[in-house]
Each structure stands twice: as C-alpha cells, then as structure tokens.
Chain A
Amino acid sequence: MFKDITLGQYFPVDSPVHRLDPRTKLILLVMYIVAVFITDYIWIFGFVLLFMLFMTYMSRVPISYVTKAIKPMKFILPFMFLLNLFMIKTGTVLFSWRFITVTTGGVYQALFIILRLIALVTGASLLTLTTTPVSLTEGLERLLSPLKIIKFPVHELAMMMTIALRFIPTLLEEADKIMKAQLARGADLESGNVLKRAKAMLPILIPLFVNSFRRAEELALAMESRCYHGGEGRTRLRILKFHWNDLIAFLIMAGLIAAVVILQNTFKIDSYLAAWVKALIGAAQ
C-alpha cells in the first residue's frame, strides 16, 4: 500500500527542535553548513559534531533515523576517501608503491572530508525529520519573499511545491492501480533487456500522464472556483512567529561559530596534528 508512505521522512514527535520556526531551522542549517566548511582542524570539528549530537538528542529522534541518511552515500564516501588519500601529497610520505603515494596529509584530509560529508547529510536529514514538508515550504516562501522585488515567483514556487506534496501519494496510488490493470491484461514488465522493459512501461506511463493532465485541469478549475488569483492580496491561516526557543537556538549556533573561529585563530597547529597522525600510524605498524 503506497498510501502509507510518509513524505520527506518526517518523524512525528513533539520536541523543542520540532517546535522551532521552520525559518529558524532553515537559517540554522545554512549557518551549520558554514560552520562545517570554515572548520579546518579535525579536533575543532569535534565541536561541530558535538553540536549535531546535541541537536539530535534535543529532537528526540532516534539517532539511527538520523544516520540512515548516510546509507545512500555508501558508494560516494569510500570513493571520496580514496580520492583524497591518493591525490593529496602534503606532509610526510607514509607509503609508496609505483605511482601510489600515501602521505600524512592525505590520510588527514581523507578522514576529514568523510566527517564533513557525514556532518552535512545528517544535518539536512535532521531538518526534514523534525519539520513537515508543509511548514518547510511555508518557511521557504517567507524567507524568499524579499526576492519578490526582483520578480522572482516565490508564491508560485511555493504553491507548486504544496500541490506536488499533496498529489504525490495520490499519483503513487494511481500508478499502482494502473500497473495492476495492465498486469491483468498480461503485460510483461520483468523480462527482456533494458530497451524492451522500457517499452513495456508505456502502457503504465501513458494512462498515468493522461490522468495527471486531467487532474491538473480539474484542480485548476476547483482552485479558480475558490477565488484563487495568484499570491496577490492573499492572507494566511497560519502566521509564523518567532518564539524564545528560536532565540536560544540562534544563540547556541552563534556560540558554536564563535568558538570555531576563535579556536582556529588561537591554535594554528596543523603541523602538530599531522605529526600526531604520523605517530599513530607508525605505532600501528
């Protein structure tokens, strides 16, 4: 049953993080990404990861749900690791065989890039786990509204997102029914090569498209009947308001970025760390 699919993997519990204004969460995510990229040292990056862990704890979303986001990256992560490991040639040479050279700098950077990617993906995933697609859309619409001055269609974009979210479950269900109707007529969707299988999908895709166009037409009529005439002069049922917990969240985030910046400028100890990694590898050998 496609009906049971929850879109955007929202995890429905009540928590201080869930209650944050969607705009706050979107801005926090941007600030968090900045923090991830300005951090140059692994040990300072520990603070960023600590922050992430703290937010996850506060959100009451099981950590296994947050880390699920890493799963689709199981191919890209090792690739990035190896790429950095072999391409970066700073620091002391640890290992060399023909054209392959591994340096302390390489090990360091390879580990770091993995940590950064994981931090980014889990951060974004925490946002979608704690925010419904509807409030995300709403938050985006409000945040982007200054762009209306340069004629950027903010309202239309948000409306499109809302309608898409509304109709995805309906269309999935319909696709399921069409597929069954054609299977019942003996359609063979499984055998043959890629080209043959693609062709076999036509009896499913065509009714799906035709029905979607008809839906769109009927929806347009229904929206017009309900006095829809674009974003102009529109009021909203829900008014987003910043609360004190939004302020606290901003303060914590500002604290994190301040800590990162101050620590980076106080202890410039890149070489120290490289030496540390080298010692570690030496010990292992």
Chain B
Amino acid sequence: MLSIKNVSFTYDSGTPALENVSIEIKEGEFLCIVGHNGSGKSTLAKMLNGLLLPTEGTVEVAGMDTSDDSKLLDIRRLVGIVFQNPDNQIVTTVVREDVAFGPENLGIPTDEMIIRVDEALKAVGMENYADSAPHMLSGGQKQRIAIAGMLAMQPKVLVLDEATAMLDPYGRRDILSIVRELHDNKGITVVMITQYMEEALGADRVIVMNSGHVQMEGTPQEIFDRGDELRSIGLDVPAAVELRELIKKNGIADLGNAVTLEEIASGLCQSLLKN
C-alpha cells in the first residue's frame, strides 16, 4: 500500500530529519511508529501524503510516486492525516460543513456528499453534533470531527500524527477505540504515530524511530522485550509490561505475553491461587 524506499530528508535550515529510512506498509495493517520528540516521526508522517517530498529516495502510495504532481490529489484522497492540534485542522464554523470540506474539494456531487458526511459522522459517533460550532467542542470531539473529515474522502490509509498528544486520558482512549474500530470493521490501514508506548500495545507492528532512522522494528512483544534499549532513547515501556517483567524477575509467575490488565490479573490468579 505504502512504500518508503531509502528516504532521506533535510530541512532548508540544513538539519537532517530522516536518514535512509525504508518502510513497507501493507494494506489493512495497524502500524505504530513511536519515537521521542525530534526523532523524525512527524517528518515521516508528512511524507506519506506528499506534504513533504524526500530529498533522496521515493515514497509510493498504491504505486503512485508522491513526487508526481498530477497524482497528488489521488494520493491525498487515499491517505488521510489527522494532526496533533485539534484546533488547527477545522476549517469552517459548522461541524457538518467541515466534514464536507474534503469531498467538496474532490468535486463529489452534493447528493452523494450528504450521504458520505452523515456516514462519516456516524462512524465517529458525532451524528448529534452535525450542526454544532466546532469551537464549543472538547479536544477529543474535535479530533473525532477531524477523523470524520478524512473518512468522508473514503481513504484507504489513516495516519494519526500524534493526534492524541493534546488530549486528556479520556479523549485519548476515545480516539484509540474509534481508530481500532475503523481498522477492525472497515479494513482501514492505520499508521499511528505517537510517543505513548501504551498506544503501541494493540498494533500489528511497531517501528521505533531514533534521530532520523529506524532503530527497532517488530511486534509490540518483541519491542517491549528490549526495555532498556527503549529507555536509553528516551522512551518507556507501558506500565503493564513493566509490571509483568517485575513479576517474572521476582519469581512470582511467568505470564508469557500478557499485556492488558485483564490478561495479567487472570494469569496471576491462575498461578497464585491454584496451589
């Protein structure tokens, strides 16, 4: 679906942001890209729909090169991006019209647009806010609107560029569950860019970025097994994984690959209460 080949990028100021990065993203995948501030992960996000073009290397979306100007609209239709600041991506003063902004740009006929907007709002659970003013909504609700705005363009890939960073824990959980649902039920490919390790727990694959290159790649399990390496590059392991490791180290129980609270709790019960 998305193919990043030997991409390097240097900003005009001369700071290199990416060095020889190659990533293949398969259709239907849930990929999580983690990294500390300034690791190049946001630069990478902007490469995925041609907002930035690589200094070296190529980025291809469904076989289309992002440096091909004539394909740019098709690429952006396929790859929707939700950004960090909820306030800075809503364009109009009415929720319904904002969701329609993408389809309007694509020249979708009005009849179809109305259906798409309603469906998109329903998919993110905001159908009751269609006529509200965006500035009266909470941060989490604004991000839902931003996601709906992407869905209305019927994309194949949804990129979340630190879309939860400015939300409270409640809003964060909310957005995560919506994204998960879109992936599971609608088969949308998800690229989740974040600095919260917890958000990587449910991913199919995790890529860890550090100072412009890919430092680690693997399943969440494989990545969290390298806790010390993660900490050395300014990241963390989720509290659940940390606890699991402590439990094992202290000889209490071996819980295998348990990562959720439920898994760990029931694993502990089995091992502690059976004798």
Q: Do chains A and B touch in the complex (CB under 8 A)?
A: yes
B101 at the interface (CB under 8 A from A): yes
Q: Mark B40-63, 1 if CB is under 8 A from A, else 0.
A: 000000100101000000000000
B136 within 8 A of A: yes
- Least CB separation from B52: chain A residue: A221
Per-residue interface assignment for chain B, residues 103 to 116, with 1 indicating a CB less than 8 Å from any chain A CB and 0 otherwise: 11111111001100
Instruction: Decide if the interface of chain A is mainly helix, strand, loop or mixed.
Output: helix
Q: How far is the CB of B231 from chain A (nearest CB, A)?
A: 31
Total residues of chain B contacting the partner, CB 8 A:
42
Residues of A within 8 A of B83 (CB): 218, 221-222, 225
Q: Name the contact of B87 in the complex, choosing from A215, A237, A239 (C-beta under 8 A).
A: A215
Assembly CA distance A229 to B72 (angstroms):
11
Complex Cα spacing A162 to B94, Å: 10
B135 interface residue per 8 A CB criterion: yes
Q: How many A-B residue pairs have CB under 8 A?
A: 96
Most buried by B among A165, A226, A233: A226
B104 touches A236 (CB 8 A): yes
Checking B102, B134, B146 against A227 with a beta-carbon cut-off of 8 angstroms, the contacting residue is B102
Query: When the two chains form their complex, are residues A235 and B91 in contact, meaning their CB atoms are under 8 A apart?
Result: no
Q: Is A225 touching B81 in the complex (CB atoms < 8 A)?
A: yes
Complex: how many Å from CA A209 to CA B169?
Answer: 30
Please determine whether A237 and B97 come into contact, CB atoms closer than 8 angstroms: yes
Residues of chain A lying within 8 A (CB to CB) of residue B117: 237
Contact A162 B91 (CB under 8 A): yes
- Look across to chain A and name the residue whose beta carbon is closest to the beta carbon of B83: A222
Tell me the complex Cα distance, A238–B117, Å: 12
Please measure, in the bound complex, the distance between the C-alpha atom of A17 and the C-alpha atom of B245, giving whole angstroms. 69
Given A221-B46, A222-B83, A234-B105, CB of A227 within 8 Å of CB of B77: yes
Min C-beta distance of A100 to chain B, whole Å: 53
Contact B88 A133 (CB under 8 A): no
Whether B88 pairs with A222 at a CB distance below 8 angstroms is: yes
| CA A170 to CA B97, docked complex, whole Å | 18
Question: CA separation between A224 and B102, bound complex, in Å?
Answer: 9
B81 touches A170 (CB 8 A): no
User: In the bound complex, do residue B87 and residue A229 qualify as a contact, i.e. CB atoms below 8 Å apart?
Assistant: no
B105 touches A166 (CB 8 A): no
B91 touches A3 (CB 8 A): no
**CB distance B80 to A225 under 8 Å?**
yes
A162 with B92: CB separation less than 8 A: yes
- Can you name the residue of chain A whose Cβ is closest to the Cβ of B88? A218
Return chain B residues, CB-CB under 8 Å to A173: 135
- Assembly CA distance A3 to B114 (angstroms): 29
Contact of A234 among B80, B87, B104 (CB under 8 A): B104
A83 contacts partner chain B, Cβ-Cβ < 8 Å: no
- Given contact pairs A219-B89, A226-B149, a sample of 10 additional A-B residue pairs in the complex whose CB atoms are under 8 Å apart: A166-B90, A215-B87, A222-B89, A222-B146, A226-B76, A226-B153, A228-B105, A237-B110, A237-B117, A238-B97
A–B complex contacts, Cβ < 8 Å, 29 sampled: A162-B92, A166-B90, A166-B91, A166-B93, A166-B134, A169-B135, A215-B85, A218-B83, A219-B89, A221-B51, A222-B81, A222-B88, A223-B91, A225-B49, A225-B76, A226-B76, A226-B80, A227-B76, A229-B73, A229-B105, A234-B104, A235-B103, A235-B107, A235-B110, A237-B96, A237-B103, A237-B110, A237-B117, A238-B97
